[in-house]
Amino acid sequence: MTDEEPDEQGIYHWGDISQFPEHLKKYWHQRFRIWQCYNQGIWMTEDAWFGVTPEPIANKIAVHIAESAPKEKTVIIDAFAGVGGNAIAFARNEHFDQVFAIEKDPKTMKCAKHNAKVYGVDKKIVWCAGDCFDIIKRRFSGNTNIIIFASPPWGGTEYSHDDVFDLSKMEPYNLEKLYTSFSKYSKHVVLYLPRTSDLNQLARYAPGDKKVEIAHYCIMGASKALCAYYGDFDFGSENEEAAAEDRE
Ligand SMILES: C[S@@+](CC[C@H](N)C(=O)[O-])C[C@H]1O[C@@H](n2cnc3c(N)ncnc32)[C@H](O)[C@@H]1O
């Protein structure tokens, strides 16, 4: 809990539905699904409502990464930290010793720092202001202990109109740009993408003879997004496959 009020134009804590602009009113009803501690003074920008990862999903992703990644991979970069949805969930998970949160928009980053204080995990996060492609290249070349998590902008709501979303058209960064940029610096890359993402495109980037694990994340039975896990993430699926074969 912090008593700090937003002190800058464009950063808000709306405590009443009448304060929400018309186009964001639906989020009033979802505010506690997005942030369990919303009433403890969470700060948001207008844009952040569209992109923030809801807390139950962010927590589940943190658990999945923590449990499936090699045990020694205890440092994670959140390349597109936004207002902190995922970075805070990683910091709250005991598996991670350190979280690097990169965000290029200063107001959004100010919200993320504040929100991490609300959740009491600000000390565990190293904040990096700027462009993630540049920062990762400059600061993390040669570091083999890191996992890169990326929840990029999806380019508006275009993805929801298509049965299958063409990831080569995602704006401003398509799958090729994301995967090639991040896989240069880490063998463990997790991408958070639209639920309708083209799975064939995702599979094409699986390194060598490895598989890519895809997990859908749902709220109230409906998929909100998926994560593609590239690298040595062990979900125990080979054991499950063997068990399934035994049953046949
Ligand atoms: C979908 S939002 C991330 C939401 C975040 N996972 C959360 O829960 O709050 C994408 C964020 O990436 C930021 N961004 C876009 N391009 C970037 C870049 N090249 N480097 C760093 N941040 C970037 C945007 O400002 C935006 O805040």
Q: What is the pLDDT of residues 81-126, one digit of tens each?
A: 999 999 999 999 999 999 999 999 999 999 999 999 999 999 999 9
Cross-strand bridge partners of residue 146: 75
SS (H, E, C) 39-52: HHCCCECCCHHHHC
Minimum-distance ligand 1 atom for the alpha carbon of 131: 20
Dist. CA 69–CA 145, nearest whole Å: 11
Please, is 171 exposed, middle or buried when counting C-beta atoms within 10 Å of its C-beta (0-12, 13-18, 19+)?
A: exposed
Q: Is the pLDDT of residue 144 over 80?
A: no
3-state DSSP helix/strand/coil percent for the chain, to nearest 5? 40, 20, 40
pLDDT of res. 2: 66
142 vs 16 pLDDT, higher one: 16
E strands, 22-176, are 75-78, 98-103, 125-129, 146-150
Domain for residue 244, yes or no? no
Domain for residue 113, yes or no? yes
Percentage of residues of the chain with pLDDT beyond 90 = 82
Dist. CA 246–CA 99, nearest whole Å: 41
Pairing type for strands 189-194 and 222-230 reads antiparallel
CATH code, domain with 128: 3.40.50.150
Domain for residue 39, yes or no? no
Domain for residue 33, yes or no? no
Average pLDDT, the chain: 93
According to DSSP, residue 122 is labeled G
Q: Using a 6 Å cutoff on CB, does residue 62 contact ligand 1? A: no
Decide: 124 and 98 in contact? Cβ < 8 Å: yes
pLDDT of res. 221: 87
Decide: 65 and 233 in contact? Cβ < 8 Å: yes
Phi/psi of residue 170, each to 5°? -65, 135
Domain for residue 241, yes or no? no
Q: Is the pLDDT of residue 32 over 60?
A: yes
Q: Using a 6 Å cutoff on CB, does residue 194 contact ligand 1? A: no
pLDDT band at 242 (very low <50, low <70, confident <90, very high): low
Amino acid identity of residue 38, one-letter, is Y
Q: What is the mean pLDDT of residues 130-151?
A: 92
Range of the domain at 83: 50-230
Dist. CA 178–CA 26, nearest whole Å: 31
Domain for residue 30, yes or no? no
Q: Using a 6 Å cutoff on CB, does residue 80 contact ligand 1? A: yes
Minimum-distance ligand 1 atom for the alpha carbon of 80: 12
Q: Using a 6 Å cutoff on CB, does residue 190 contact ligand 1? A: no
What angle in degrees, to the nearest 10, is found between the helix axes of 55-68 and 26-34? 30
Domain for residue 24, yes or no? no
How many structural domains does the chain have? 1
CA of 194 to the centre of ligand 1 (A): 15
Please, is 239 exposed, middle or buried when counting C-beta atoms within 10 Å of its C-beta (0-12, 13-18, 19+)?
A: exposed
| Cis peptide bond upstream of 172, omega within 30 | yes
pLDDT band at 231 (very low <50, low <70, confident <90, very high): very high
Q: Is the pLDDT of residue 237 over 70?
A: no
Q: Using a 6 Å cutoff on CB, does residue 132 contact ligand 1? A: yes
Q: What is the mean pLDDT of residues 35-61?
A: 97
* List of residues 6+ apart from 101 with CB closer than 8 A: 78, 81, 84, 87, 109, 112, 125, 126, 127, 128
Please state the pTM of the whole predicted model: 0.94
Evaluated on CA atoms 30, 34, 35, 41, the torsion sign reads negative
Dist. CA 190–CA 61, nearest whole Å: 10
Q: Is the pLDDT of residue 241 over 70?
A: no
Domain for residue 148, yes or no? yes
According to DSSP, residue 165 is labeled B
